[in-house]
Structure 1
């Protein structure tokens, strides 16, 4: 049977995107020009573009037409995972961090791919300014007073309302406002562990979490897994049966650094595991709002029935890093977390809570996300394309469905710390892979953040980084 005309047209454009006729980041021809050239209706063209949008290949922008986001083919394999060490270890990430370089980036020549934080140009500056002005106009002086330890009740209500996006059923009393997601994680750990206890974490994992665990005097078991599917539930359960585990710290969506998103089935299985084993699971879903799909993904908390899942999140990655507004829904451990919050720093700053409340109530946050997500997707795909073009052909690279970072496995002869130093010498910074493991694993891996507004300077920085990697091959006679 002959294909519908719009399907044939979509296939034609997909071929043109994959062969480079329309590169990533470029605009497709206007509807009028396509109509005149191919003698098809605007309705047919729009249906074809909808097919391409559903595949994630293009995105429509108001008054700007349609832009290419990515190709549908790639020859680069996913990174491999490091074999687990299924015994408890003291955490000593501080020693690993000492090997990394943290240069002063005031020099305008630098391009940093180190921090997973939005560029100021991607933040909702005007909306934040208006919301802060509105919050400070409160003649009752509420913005000058302490909030409750749990946080502003109206902000907690707005956050609870948003739980329907991930199939959750939170109420305001389930939510605790914190100073960023890292404090939320720390409070949850403190509520369910004591010094010397062992927690399971997925590997690789954000070095800030490892530092938090180290500061609490906890031991860890690092559990890695499939580069597509994440941890193995059977292995998780076997470890918990053979050793005393006080908590598990996992990431539902777009793990930093390797971008893994757990399937709904795996999230549900982990929630059931927590209930069956009576082991708290801390779910750090800080990147969930930065998805590239049509709908926000669920998290482990979505399937929690008995309160054994402690969800942590934040607005730092999506809206206002400097506000340091995070939150947690600690389930059956809510009272303990609120008490710990009170004795730690009394409460989170009132004025920023009220400003964020305005951002949520007015819909400004959702409008910002609708613009931000396609742009982040575009930036990531442009970065992927540049890495494919400029790095050696034998690398491996993640394919995140959201978030801000790419995880790249380089040839085994590359030392990530040495590479970072060479890159800094040429005004480029990256995050060495060993920072994301207590064991100092991932020595030939790096993390690149896709948080810079794309321009020639950013692309040239990736080109320089590729040249450095290739030169290291030559230096070693490869």
Structure 2
């Protein structure tokens, strides 16, 4: 499905701004010139300008046109990778997570940058309500019965059809419906590994997956990425040649928390590695639909030829977290995953599957995404702008091309777990960097969610930045 014309026009103008064709302080072409250049209506160009204005990139001045305020590519440096490979470890992330829990997370003054979930104001309430109503009207009573363990056949078919968006070629029988992406990852791990086995993960990595690994009694080898290129194929091959590795768990698109998007060449190389070494690669592509560009990126499964890539995804991040609908395409391990799903919880809720089926079939999900993506990009840019303004100049910020979060590197003498406790006193919360590695590295890093923007959120970042500056100046948060 094509994007709205105004989004395409806005994207082209944004590209010209980023290339410095129209530098900061200079006027953009007039409405008439843009209409002629792109053969679109005045209304389309006005909506494009409004989108750029919402992102904070331009400003409309009375009788003076639109002036460039800033680029969407950030001026600040990227967070640094902590290079190296950590040895085989037992996982104990739950203990680290317990240090970051705050009991009193309510009240009108409380500001949380912790959770990477869409704010309720962004969700398509009406479309979801209509789909649930339609599902409940089924006079056959199918929505009240158990579904088959692999999931509703029609829903699996719709998800398989969507694989063409990322150059995939899934069939209906390749897809298994799960209760969110975490269950998909858990089922895939259980299908290929047993307690005591070792898996490879790229660090930093989402702590929820680390908790899942811990609950299964698995050991990990953490491999740090190489800048913007991602994990080293050569290092993976070395480890798999010298160690007994049950699986690798990666995120090909907009890694949480780092926001990294692997190149198509790297994704293809990872698929070839899996097929050649006969090592399952579990690709958690939960953020793929939340790209800021006009084309949905591919994933590692796009290049899989022998079924060694196990793709996991979900609608929790892109549609509504409470629906808890995920799915996986586990390749050659499909039968084992279906069997595990059946003995774990029989099946995913029937009425929710039917509701999602309606959203996909009617196009409501895609229409919603086309509006959500530019809004998410705007939220990320506004959050970035505030961090650049209120945090120390040495702060490094990620440059995600999709997703919901920013990965921040602070000066080395900042311990973000200690910073978090000081922030709690001011009713502010965020995710400390140590949560994203089993080994406890990334002490001076933090993750900020970008799920809504208002004066309260901006003030929260201002207060947080002030705390950091205060510690750098005085060595204390008091």
Q: TM-score, normalised by structure 1?
A: 0.89
1:273-331 residue CA offsets vs partner (Å, 9 max, x unmatched) = 00000000000000000001110000000000000000000000000100100000000
Structure 1 gaps, min length 5: 1-6, 23-27, 51-57
1:325-369 residue CA offsets vs partner (Å, 9 max, x unmatched) = 000000000000000000000000011111011000000000000
Q: Match for residue 67 of structure 1?
A: 53
RMSD: 2.6
**CA–CA distance in 1 between the matches of 2:51 and 2:410?**
37
Quick one: structure 1 residues 232 and 59, their matched pair in 2 at CA, closer, same or farther if it must change by over 3 Å?
farther
Q: TM-score, normalised by structure 2?
A: 0.89
Q: Match for residue 329 of structure 2?
A: 329
The answer as to whether partners of 1:259 and 1:405 remain within 8 angstroms in 2 is yes
The answer as to whether partners of 2:252 and 2:267 remain within 8 angstroms in 1 is yes
**CA–CA distance in 2 between the matches of 1:91 and 1:420?**
23
Q: Match for residue 381 of structure 1?
A: 381
Written as runs of structure 1 = structure 2, the 5 A alignment for 1:290-439 is 290-439=290-439
Residue 460, structure 1, aligned to residue 463, structure 2:
no
**CA–CA distance in 2 between the matches of 1:275 and 1:328?**
18
Q: Match for residue 25 of structure 1?
A: none
SS in 1 for 2:53: strand
Quick one: structure 1 residues 421 and 192, their matched pair in 2 at CA, closer, same or farther if it must change by over 3 Å?
same
Quick one: structure 1 residues 122 and 18, their matched pair in 2 at CA, closer, same or farther if it must change by over 3 Å?
farther
**CA–CA distance in 2 between the matches of 1:113 and 1:267?**
31
Q: Match for residue 19 of structure 1?
A: 24
**CA–CA distance in 1 between the matches of 2:269 and 2:14?**
42
Written as runs of structure 1 = structure 2, the 5 A alignment for 1:23-422 is 34=30, 41=33, 43-44=35-36, 46=38, 61=47, 66-67=52-53, 69=55, 70=57, 71-72=70-71, 74-422=74-422
Superposed displacement of residue 106, structure 1: 2.1
**CA–CA distance in 2 between the matches of 1:264 and 1:66?**
28
SS in 1 for 2:204: coil
SS in 2 for 1:159: helix
**CA–CA distance in 2 between the matches of 1:208 and 1:13?**
35
Quick one: structure 1 residues 428 and 45, their matched pair in 2 at CA, closer, same or farther if it must change by over 3 Å?
farther
SS in 2 for 1:393: coil
Structure 2 gaps, min length 5: 1-11, 58-69
**CA–CA distance in 2 between the matches of 1:405 and 1:13?**
21
**CA–CA distance in 2 between the matches of 1:65 and 1:329?**
36
**CA–CA distance in 1 between the matches of 2:384 and 2:372?**
18
Q: Match for residue 472 of structure 2?
A: 473
Q: Match for residue 444 of structure 1?
A: 444
SS in 2 for 1:226: coil
